[in-house]
Amino acid sequence: IQWFPGHMLETKEFLRQMIPSVDVVLEVLDARLPISSANPLLDKICKSVPRVKVLNKKDLADPNATTQWLTYFNEKFHGQCVAINGTNKTETWKTVDDAVKTINRNKARKARVMVAGIPNTGKSTIMNSLAGKKIAKTGNTPAITRHQQRAGLKNKIDVYDTPGILWPILENQSGACRLAASGAISDTAMDYAEVAHFTADYLLERYEAQLRERYRLKDPFPSTANELIEAIGTRRGCLKKGGILNWQKASEVLIRELRSGKIGRISLEFPRDHLTPSPE
């Protein structure tokens, strides 16, 4: 998806119109990269509305990182933070319902909930899990549906069937690489080789054991990103004529297997890397 200023204005306007009738905003983040998958516009526009930060795709994330993020956000952020696997309907329903119950101000009626976040974080999946039926089309669509309806739920919350779709922030290079590695940026808009290089560097530093296991790499273990991509490509037969390594294919293997969780449960961000030191 390409976000143009017009789309951004439209989204802001949509949120401004929706907010007054919303009781709780579910801010959907990717549990593997909860900083880079956020859009600070929500902090500004949703100041007056209670918010639940939902770290989704916890089944793909490193459980250690997720525990640390939950502690971090529950201390720093005035609201609730929960971690879920949005594809698990029962877990999603229970966790979100509990969180909404604790912060909803208006107890007289069902809480009106709006789901918001950047593409691919799992908004539609979560909405469908909450509604117990298909109310949202999954997949990346920047278009904003004009008419809003609340999905009728038997339970205690009403979910608006139109999510607030925010744009990813691509201003810093490493954040953009993490978003691309997670699948939040369309493949046509990213350079596989660059993202794979960035990812390989990171995995070598943090997840060597998982790499060893997945690719059965022999010693001497690759010590640079290029060596790692080359070793993976060779193992997977990503070769061009004459036995030359096909870097594009090798890079795609690494990214694809990271996204699908085949390398293991991996988080691309930890709170300690994002804490700003307090001024002296």
Q: Site residues (CB under 6 A) for ligand GDP?
A: 56-57, 59-60, 85-87, 117, 119-125, 138-140
Residue of closest CB approach to ligand GDP: 122
Whose CA is closest to 46, among 80, 12, 85, 9? 12
Residue 165 CB, nearest distance to ligand GDP (Å)? 7
Of 224 and 260, nearer to ligand GDP (C-beta) is 260
- Which uninterrupted H or E stretch holds 199? helix 192-206
C-beta of 2 vs 223, nearer to ligand GDP: 2
Nearest distance, CB of residue 84 and ligand GDP, angstroms: 6
Which residues, in sequence order, are CB contacts of 225 under 8 Å at separation 6+? 196, 197, 198, 200, 201, 204
Which residue, 85 or 199, is less far from ligand GDP as judged by CB?
85
Smallest separation, CB 170 to ligand GDP (Å):
17
Q: How far is the CB of 88 from ligand GDP (least distance, A)?
A: 7
Please state, as a whole number, how many other Cβ atoms lie within 10 Å of the Cβ of residue 143: 9
* Distance (Å, whole) CA 115 – CA 138: 13
39 vs 121 by CB, closer to ligand GDP: 121
Tell me the closest approach of the beta carbon of residue 200 to ligand GDP, in angstroms.
22
Neighbours of 90 (CB within 10 A): 9
**C-beta of 123 vs 197, nearer to ligand GDP:** 123
To ligand GDP, the closest distance from the beta carbon of 280 in angstroms equals: 41
Q: Pick between residue 94 and residue 212 the one whose CB is nearest to ligand GDP.
A: 94
- At a CB cut-off of 8 Å and minimum separation 6, what does 86 contact? 28, 54, 56, 57, 92, 122, 125, 126, 129
Q: CB 242 → ligand GDP: shortest distance, Å?
A: 37
* Integer Cα distance of 139 and 2 in angstroms: 15
User: 268-275 contacts: CB < 8 A, separation 24 or more?
Assistant: 268/32, 268/33, 268/36, 268/178, 268/181, 268/182, 268/202, 269/32, 269/33, 269/34, 269/35, 269/36, 269/65, 269/178, 270/65, 270/68, 271/68, 271/69, 271/71, 271/72, 272/68, 274/35
Nearer to ligand GDP by Cβ, of 139 and 279: the residue is: 139
